[in-house]
Structures are given as structure tokens and as C-alpha cells.
């Protein structure tokens, strides 16, 4: 190696190592020959999307769009010959998962052109800058990036590999370029038309230095989305954020970000918030604390912040809440069991898989066959209101559960009870409903002959029932005829018939 070339190479590699991080640029030495690799991480425009549709029967417009901020890098692998940069260009290969062989070949040719334009000078920085900053524009790639037919067929890949292996073993091997001229595999203008076992429709123009390092079309989109997720997380951890709760500034590595809205809070605040909500049983309320925001915390985020015991409670309550929201899931009505039971929506019977208790899915009592459910007194009014406001379909379900005669009976009974509560009062001794039409406020129950005050309901003495209204200390003092319009023929001691 000429001394000048050796010094130029060492200076160039040292300068590049000072410009780029180790995960972007790496120097290697094989058999004493300097080389390395460069990861060209492209800066995408805002709202850049990718789409993929592996089905030939679906139209391109039906493919789902995925917005990404980061694409897998374009990898440049190079080795410096002894007479670089005075005479020879670095040997290289370019690999990428989401570029076609034709696009990779275009990049190879462009690097060749850059060398020809700057022959005799160090070229690696110009190559790297081009791949990082100009590759998208050079290839005219815009959003959305269609990934539907990127990966070459396995037949073509095997043919390319066979040519590359053969080319590496024979310096005399010549192939035909598109214009018909002969060249060797190591020629700087190594664009060829492969003519092996491929059919005429499969013969494609490619550069042997272009490598597509992905196994199948189906693996492409998941690989891009996973890389985008990892890079977003990496950038988030290295960025400083202001917690929206305590307003402290912390690195993203000490913060939590809600996926739905992007709001960021420090982990200490969220840990306390999660613990309080879970202890209160409000596992479905682990939403973003920002006002009117409804983004939910992911279970993995909850698990990261709380203890194992608290997360176990969260997991159990979350499962219970999910089961309760399912129309075909009930809990065993035995208090000692409470196991979840899958039910048939067409049947009124449920059987617990744990204790084998058979119960009615409607009233939760022991299964009673085709007999209607028993209606409890406290449920009667609720049933009347529910049936009155129900849709035709809901009414049929209630009639199936309780039976139409039972529902009609409940409607009549509740209407009667409401009327009695509004227009009558109960005898304080026997509970008989008494209606007052007119007369004074001293009442007599004809069922039990009890005297009582209509105003306050107090039982009156049989010896002197009117003393309640003449005693100054009584709350009904001088109110014997309160609220009553008197007539001359009125009998103060009328008997009031009970209402059955």
C-alpha cells in the first residue's frame, strides 16, 4: 500500500468515526484490509406512510396505511483496496429490506457515478451523505410507500446467489450488460441482465452488489413496523419531558406515555395514580389524567409500575369487568362459589362448571323450568317502569322471563299501590289503608276500631280522643278541622271505611 493512500484511508476512517456514532458507523479489518459498514437512517417527511397488500386479488386502494417515523436503514458495506483513493474505488455492497433489487441497483450505479466525479479523493463521506439525505429523492419515493411487490422471488434470489458465487471464484467470468458489452463481475459498471434458468418474463436487470436481506414478502411489513416502534421508544427515552401532573422535567426513560393521546407523565406520579385506582377497584378508570382525555393505559405499562400483588388484583378485576360486559357470561348465584358461567342466550338455564348448581339466568334462583320467575316486592315497581319504557323486543324478553299474566298483575298492583300512597294513609295499629273524604282529623278505623290523628298519625286515646287537638303541647293543637271545609250537618265522629 502506498504511504499516501494508507494515510488517507486512516485519516478518513478516523474522521468518520468522530462524526457518526458506533451504532451508525463501524470500522472492520479483515485480513489486514480496512473496511466497515454504515447504517443510513433516513429522515422521513411528516405523516409518511407505508402500505402492503400481499393479495393479488385486492386492489392497491384496499391496502391499509401505516404511518411511520422510521424506516429500516440502508446498509453500506465497504472495503478499501490498497490503491484507494489514488486509483481504485472502494468495493461495496448495499442491502435493504424495503427496496427492490432494481432500486438497490440504481443506488449502486449512483455511488459509481459519485466516485467517477471525485476520482482520486476520499469518497466514503459523500457516499454516506447521499444514502442518508438524498436516496429517497433520487429514487422518487413518496408517501405512501407501496410494499406490495418488493421482495424478489426465491427463484430469482437463488439465481443471483449462484451468479455471485461463480463471479467470486472466477476473475475471467464475463457477462453481458444491457447494451451488449462484455465486462467482468468486479467491473464498476456491473449492471447485468441475468440469463440462467429463468424464463424470459423473469429476466430482470440487477447489480450483483445489490442485496435484499429479507426472506419473504409476508415478513416485510411486520419488520418495518417493529423497527419503527423500537426507534420511537429509543428516541422517547432520550428526550426530556415535563410531567403534566407534578410539572417536573425528566428523561423519557423515567416517564410513561399514553399511546392513544401521546400525553407524558413521570412514572412516580403514574405509579401513585395506578395504585389508588386499583385499590378502589376502578381498573377501567386507568385513563390519561389529562382533562377530557380517555386514552387507556396498556396492561404492560401498569405491570411495569406497580407491585406483583397490585397487578394481580388489577388483572383479576379487569378480567371480571370484561366478563361482566359479555352478554353470554354470568356468575354462579351461590355466594360460596361465584364462578363465571357461559350461558346459551336461547335458554333460561345455566349450569355452574365448578359446583354444578343449576339456576335461572333471569332471577338467579334455582332453575324453575317453564314456570315464570317469582317477582319480589321490591322489584315490582322497577319491572313496571322497565316494561313501560321497553322496546318491543325487550318486552318479549321480559314476558318470556316472567310470563305475560304476571306482568299484567304487577302493572295493576303497582298502579293500585301508587294510588293508595297518594290518596290514603295506613292505620298506625293494623296497617289498613284509610281514605279521608271529609270530616275532622280524628279518624276511626272500622277494622280495628283504633282512633288516630290524620295529621301526624298518632294513636289517640279512646277515653279522650280530642285531647290531642286541645293540648297546647301537641303538634296538632287546635288543628281538629285543619284543611277541612265545614258544613252545618257535618258529624265530627264519622267512621271511615277501610280500603282493601
- The set of catalytic residues is 440
Q: How far is residue 451's CA from residue 470's CA, in Å, rounded to a whole number?
A: 16
Rounded CA separation 451/103 (Å):
105
To 10 degrees, the CA torsion angle through 414, 415, 420, 423? 150
Q: Which residue has the cell 436481506?
A: 213
C-alpha cell at 468: 290531642
3 state SS for 107-126: HHHHHHHHHHHCCCCCCHHH
Tally of CB atoms within 10 A around 301: 18
Beta bridge partners of 76: 38, 94
Can you tell me the distance from the alpha carbon of 33 to that of 9, in angstroms, rounded to the nearest whole number? 11
H-helix segments, 191-280 = 220-237, 267-279
Give me the helix-helix angle, 267-279 and 308-324, nearest 10°: 60
CB atoms within 10 A of CB 64: 10
H/E stretch holding 381: helix 377-389
Set of cell numbers at residue 467: 285531647
Q: Which three cell numbers stand for residue 435?
A: 281514605
Per the CB < 8 A criterion, the answer to whether 445 and 496 are in contact is: yes
Closest CA to 444 of 465, 463, 419: 465
422 vs 419: CA distance, rounded Å: 5
Distance between CA 158 and CA 381 in Å, rounded?
A: 79
Among 37, 23, 27, 45, CA closest to 231:
23
- Residues ≥6 apart with Cβ < 8 Å to 396: none
Amino acid at each position: 500500500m502506498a504511504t499516501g493512500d494508507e494515510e488517507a484511508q486512516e485519516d478518513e476512517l478516523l474522521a468518520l468515526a468522530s462524526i457518526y456514532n458506533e451504532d451508525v458507523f463501524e470500522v472492520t479489518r479483515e485480513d489486514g484490509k480496512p473496511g466497515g459498514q454504515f447504517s443510513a437512517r433516513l429522515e422521513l417527511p411528516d405523516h409518511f406512510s407505508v402500505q402492503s397488500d400481499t393479495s393479488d386479488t385486492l386492489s392497491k386502494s384496499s391496502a391499509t396505511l401505516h404511518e411511520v417515523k422510521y424506516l429500516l436503514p440502508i446498509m453500506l458495506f465497504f472495503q478499501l483496496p490498497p490503491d484507494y483513493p489514488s486509483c481504485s474505488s472502494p468495493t461495496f455492497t448495499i442491502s435493504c429490506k424495503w427496496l427492490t433489487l432494481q432500486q438497490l441497483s440504481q443506488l449502486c450505479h449512483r455511488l459509481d457515478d459519485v466516485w467517477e466525479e471525485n476520482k482520486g479523493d476520499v469518497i466514503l463521506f459523500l457516499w454516506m451523505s447521499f444514502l442518508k439525505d438524498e436516496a429517497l429523492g433520487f429514487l422518487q419515493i413518496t408517501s405512501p410507500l407501496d410494499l406490495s411487490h418488493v421482495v424478489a422471488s426465491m427463484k430469482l434470489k437463488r439465481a443471483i446467489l449462484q451468479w455471485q458465487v461463480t463471479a467470486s471464484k472466477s476473475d475471467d467470468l464475463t457477462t453481458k450488460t444491457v447494451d451488449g458489452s462484455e465486462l467482468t463481475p468486479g467491473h464498476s459498471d456491473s449492471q447485468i441482465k441475468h440469463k440462467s434458468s429463468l424464463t424470459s418474463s423473469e429476466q430482470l436487470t440487477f447489480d450483483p452488489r445489490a442485496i435484499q436481506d429479507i426472506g419473504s414478502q409476508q415478513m416485510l411489513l411486520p419488520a418495518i413496523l417493529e423497527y419503527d416502534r423500537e426507534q420511537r421508544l429509543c428516541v422517547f427515552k432520550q428526550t426530556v419531558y415535563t410531567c403534566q401532573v407534578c410539572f417536573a422535567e425528566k428523561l423519557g426513560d423515567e416517564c410513561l406515555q399514553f399511546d392513544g393521546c401521546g400525553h407524558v407523565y413521570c412514572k412516580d406520579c403514574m405509579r401513585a395514580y395506578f395504585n389508588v385506582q386499583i385499590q378502589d377497584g376502578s381498573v377501567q378508570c386507568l385513563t390519561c389524567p389529562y382533562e377530557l382525555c380517555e386514552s387507556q393505559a396498556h396492561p404492560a405499562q401498569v405491570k411495569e409500575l406497580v407491585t406483583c400483588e397490585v397487578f394481580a388484583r388489577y388483572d383479576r378485576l379487569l378480567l371480571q369487568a370484561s366478563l361482566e360486559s359479555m352478554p353470554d357470561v354470568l356468575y354462579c348465584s351461590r355466594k360460596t362459589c361465584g364462578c363465571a358461567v357461559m350461558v346459551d342466550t336461547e335458554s333460561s338455564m345455566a349450569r355452574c362448571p365448578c359446583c354444578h348448581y343449576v339456576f335461572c339466568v333471569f332471577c338467579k334462583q334455582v332453575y324453575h323450568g317453564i314456570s315464570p320467575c317469582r317477582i319480589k316486592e321490591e322489584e315490582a315497581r322497577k319491572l313496571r317502569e322497565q316494561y313501560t319504557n321497553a322496546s318491543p323486543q325487550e318486552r318479549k324478553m321480559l314476558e318470556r322471563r316472567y310470563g305475560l299474566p304476571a306482568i299484567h298483575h304487577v302493572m295493576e298492583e303497582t298502579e293500585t299501590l301508587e294510588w293508595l300512597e297518594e290518596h290514603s294513609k295506613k292505620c298506625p295499629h293494623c296497617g289498613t289503608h284509610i281514605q279521608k273524604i271529609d270530616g275532622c282529623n280524628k279518624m276511626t278505623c272500622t277494622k280495628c276500631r283504633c282512633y288516630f290523628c290524620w295529621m301526624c298519625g298518632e294513636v289517640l286515646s279512646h277515653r279522650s280522643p280530642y285531647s290531642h287537638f286541645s293540648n297546647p303541647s301537641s303538634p296538632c293543637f287546635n288543628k281538629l278541622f285543619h284543611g277541612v271545609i265545614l258544613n252545618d250537618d257535618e258529624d265530627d265522629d264519622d267512621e271511615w271505611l277501610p280500603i282493601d
